[in-house]
């Protein structure tokens, strides 16, 4: 029996896409291997959001060809969509973009049978939402459910609209069907994801939106927790908050990408909010949900970012109690307006600013985790990590280690007794 291995880079949408493609192989007689050396087919599901992501994607492809020259290589995802036939030199049997993933095995078999390389990169302007229903995930309790594809925000630095195309949404009945199947398979926690989740339903004539989708999911029997992979400040208003508060399964963990704490830089980025709007969104969520946690993304070293701009970002981060800040140095992407802007920041200064912001983020994170001491939390047990230790997650997406005998998928009450970095230690109550 032939074996397939997947290496996935990037976001939760990519994780979902990988699982969907993997299931295509499993349905066609392959088995999955955790060891790339044993693989007959090696799939790199790539990311292209930064130049570093491109380099990592190519490194994984080239490493596998050296490690196992007879292994067939497939390069899929965002970098494949962007570079297309330019990746033929890697020796990949199939180069598959961000559509036709449901045909990955058929396309691969055709390439093998015809003894040639195939580039399957389709224009995305007129394609619909590709239903990639999945049956399971690698972990036993949490699943990802993709309900939206594409973005039309046209931020000045971002290549994603080019490689993911326009907004397309999964129909409500299909969302419910897939979620029910996942719950029946034993998943207790579902994260709803998309390229621009806020825009879900904007391509529908009936005006159904993200709230309609998560209300459908909240009604599913057997589902314990419901998460949103991301929100935008523009989504957070009194009307939407009222509907969100009515969802008893919604976890109070919110990821709102900030990108910069400088209004001047946000304007250059063509973000659709300013720091005041962002602060108000955080305030409304804090007032509406008990013990909520916040995470964010920030780009430093954007073209023309001054020390004053950066310090505004640093000060803004200090003001918001972020549980974690994902910090990225600005990376010029081809065919984006920001790549052509004047006053590009040098790498050493970007690196310095990244380091400062990460240091501040870690300081705040440590305070948040210390403040969890002696608190009672609900832990969804996920996996055994050693002989008598298990790991699970709180509704706020904090990882907790417990000692004892548990069952994957079990919900337990625990008292927090300490922490190390991003891991809480607890005792079952």
CATH of the domain at 23: 3.40.50.12160
CA distance 18 to 3: 15
| Assigned domain for 21 exists | yes
Question: DSSP secondary structure string, 346-368?
Answer: PHHHHHHHHHHHHHHHHHHHHHH
**pLDDT score at 403:** 95
Residues 259 and 10: their CA atoms lie apart, in Å, by 17
Do 167 and 146 have their domain in common? yes
Whether residues 209 and 173 share a domain: the answer is yes
- For residue 60, the model assigns a pLDDT of 94
- Are residue 31 and residue 157 in the same domain, yes or no? no
Q: What average pLDDT does range 260-287 have in this prediction?
A: 98
The last residue of a domain, from among 120, 151, 182? 120
pLDDT number for residue 368: 97
User: Could you tell me if 308 and 381 lie in one domain?
Assistant: no
SS3 label, residue 26: helix
DSSP-based three-state secondary structure for 291: coil
pLDDT digits (tens, 9 = 90+) for 53-84: 999 999 999 999 888 899 999 999 999 999 99
Q: What is the mean pLDDT of residues 352-363?
A: 98
Q: Which of 120, 155, 189 delimits the end of a domain?
A: 120
Burial level of 57, CB count in 10 A (0-12/13-18/19+)? buried
* pLDDT for res 137: 78
The predicted-structure confidence for 125-142, as pLDDT tens digits, reads as follows 889 999 998 988 766 689
The mean pLDDT value for 222-239 works out to: 96
Tell which residue, 4, 88, 74, 86, has the closest CA to residue 46. Answer: 74
Give the model confidence (pLDDT) of 80-116 as tens digits.
999 999 999 999 999 999 999 999 999 999 999 999 9
Q: Is residue 152 part of a domain?
A: yes
Query: Are residue 359 and residue 421 in the same domain, yes or no?
Result: no
pLDDT of residue 381: 95
Give the pLDDT band of residue 207 (cuts 50, 70, 90): confident
Give SS3 for 428. Answer: strand
Q: Structural domain of residue 301, as residue ranges? A: 142-368
**Same structural domain for residues 21 and 56?**
yes
CATH number for position 400: 2.40.50.140
356 and 396 housed in the same domain: no
> Among residues 247, 245, 234, 243, which one has the least CA distance to residue 286?
245
Look-up: residue for tokens 């709102």? 256
The pLDDT value recorded for residue 139 is 61
208 and 235, same domain (yes or no)? yes
In angstroms, the first-to-last Cα distance of the chain is: 47
- Residue 252 in any domain: the answer is yes
Does residue 180 sit in helix, strand or coil? helix
What pLDDT digit, counting tens, does each position of 304-357 carry? Answer: 999 999 999 999 999 999 999 999 999 999 999 999 999 999 999 999 999 999
**What is the pTM assigned to this prediction?**
0.94
Q: What is the pLDDT of residue 67?
A: 87
Domain count, the chain: 3
The yes-or-no verdict on residue 23 having pLDDT over 90 is yes
269 and 155, same structural domain? Answer: yes
Q: State mean pLDDT over 34-45.
A: 95
**What's the CATH number where 329 sits?**
3.80.30.20
Q: Is 135 among the domain residues?
A: no
- Domain check: are 303 and 395 in the same one? no
**Domain end: 368, 390, 408, which one?**
368
Q: Which two tokens stand for residue 64?
A: 């596998």
Classify 227 as helix, strand or coil: strand
Q: DSSP 3-state assignment of 151?
A: coil
pLDDT at 200: 97
Give, as one character, the DSSP assignment of residue 28: T
Dihedral angle sign, alpha carbons of residues 143, 149, 150, 155: negative
Q: Token digits for 107?
A: 């396309």
Confidence of residue 298 (pLDDT cuts 50, 70, 90): very high
Looking at residue 126, what is its pLDDT?
Answer: 83
Residue 136: predicted pLDDT: 83
Mean predicted confidence (pLDDT) in 218-236: 96
Residue 125 belongs to a domain: no
Q: Is 80 found in the same domain as 198?
A: no
Strand runs (DSSP E) across 35-123, as ranges?
41-46, 72-77, 94-96, 118-120
Please report which confidence band the pLDDT of residue 301 belongs to, taking 50, 70 and 90 as the band edges.
very high
Exposed e or buried b for every residue in 270-282, given b needs 16+ CB within 10 A?
A: ebebebebbbebb
Q: Would 136 be classed as within a structural domain? A: no
Is 254 buried (19+), middle (13-18) or exposed (0-12) by CB count in 10 A? buried
Specify the pairing of strand 41-46 against strand 72-77: parallel
Long-range own/partner contacts, residues 401-408 (CB < 8 A, 24 or more apart): 401/425, 401/426, 402/426, 402/427, 402/428, 403/427, 404/428, 406/381, 407/381, 408/140, 408/141, 408/381, 408/382, 408/383, 408/384
Mean pLDDT across the chain, nearest whole number?
Answer: 96
Residue 127 domain-assigned (yes or no) = no
Q: Decide if 126 is inside a domain.
A: no
Give the strand order in the sheet containing 322-329.
Answer: 253-255, 293-300, 322-329
The verdict on 188 and 226 lying in the same domain is yes
pLDDT tens figures, 383-419: 999 889 999 999 999 999 999 999 999 999 999 999 9
The answer to whether 409 touches 380, Cβ cutoff 8 Å, is yes
Tokens 């969104």 belong to 281
Nearest to 179 by CA among 227, 143, 231: 143
């Amino acid at each position: 029996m032939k074996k397939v291995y997947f290496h996935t880079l990037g976001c939760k949408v990519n994780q979902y896409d990988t699982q969907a493609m993997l299931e295509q192989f499993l349905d066609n007689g392959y088995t999955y291997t955790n060891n790339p050396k044993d693989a007959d087919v090696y799939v790199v599901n790539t990311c292209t959001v930064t130049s570093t992501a491109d380099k990592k994607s190519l490194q994984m492809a080239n490493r596998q060809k050296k490690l196992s020259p007879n292994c067939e290589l497939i390069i899929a995802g965002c970098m494949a969509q962007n570079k297309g036939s330019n990746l033929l030199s890697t020796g990949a049997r199939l180069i598959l973009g961000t559509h036709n993933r449901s045909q990955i095995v058929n396309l691969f078999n055709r390439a093998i049978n015809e003894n040639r390389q195939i580039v399957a990169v389709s224009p995305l302007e007129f394609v619909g939402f590709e239903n990639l229903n999945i049956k399971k995930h690698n972990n036993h309790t949490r699943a990802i459910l993709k309900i939206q594809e594409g973005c039309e925000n046209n931020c000045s630095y971002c290549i994603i609209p080019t490689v993911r195309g326009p907004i397309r949404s999964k129909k409500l009945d299909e969302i419910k069907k897939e979620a029910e199947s996942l719950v029946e398979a034993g998943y207790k926690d579902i994260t709803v994801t998309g390229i621009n989740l806020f825009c879900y339903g904007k391509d529908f004539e009936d005006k159904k939106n993200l709230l309609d989708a998560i209300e459908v999911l909240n009604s599913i029997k057997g589902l314990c927790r419901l998460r949103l992979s991301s929100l935008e400040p523009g989504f957070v208003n009194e009307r939407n908050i009222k509907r969100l508060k009515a969802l008893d399964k919604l976890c109070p963990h919110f990821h709102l990408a900030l990108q910069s704490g400088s209004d001047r830089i946000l304007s250059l980025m063509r973000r659709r909010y300013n720091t005041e709007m962002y602060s108000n969104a955080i305030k409304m969520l804090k007032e509406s949900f008990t013990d909520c946690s916040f995470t964010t993304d920030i780009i430093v070293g954007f073209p023309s970012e001054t020390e004053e701009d950066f310090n505004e970002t640093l000060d803004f981060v200090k003001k918001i109690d972020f549980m974690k800040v994902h910090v990225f140095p600005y990376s010029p992407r081809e065919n984006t307006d920001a790549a052509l802007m004047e006053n590009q920041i040098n790498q050493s200064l970007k690196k310095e600013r990244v380091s400062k912001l990460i240091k501040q983020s870690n300081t705040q994170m440590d305070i948040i985790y210390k403040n969890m001491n002696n608190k009672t939390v609900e832990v969804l047990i996920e996996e055994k990590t050693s002989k008598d230790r298990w790991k699970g997650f709180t509704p706020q997406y904090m990882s907790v280690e417990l000692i004892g005998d548990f069952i994957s998928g079990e919900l337990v009450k625990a008292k927090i007794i300490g922490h190390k970095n991003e891991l809480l230690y607890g005792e079952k109550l």
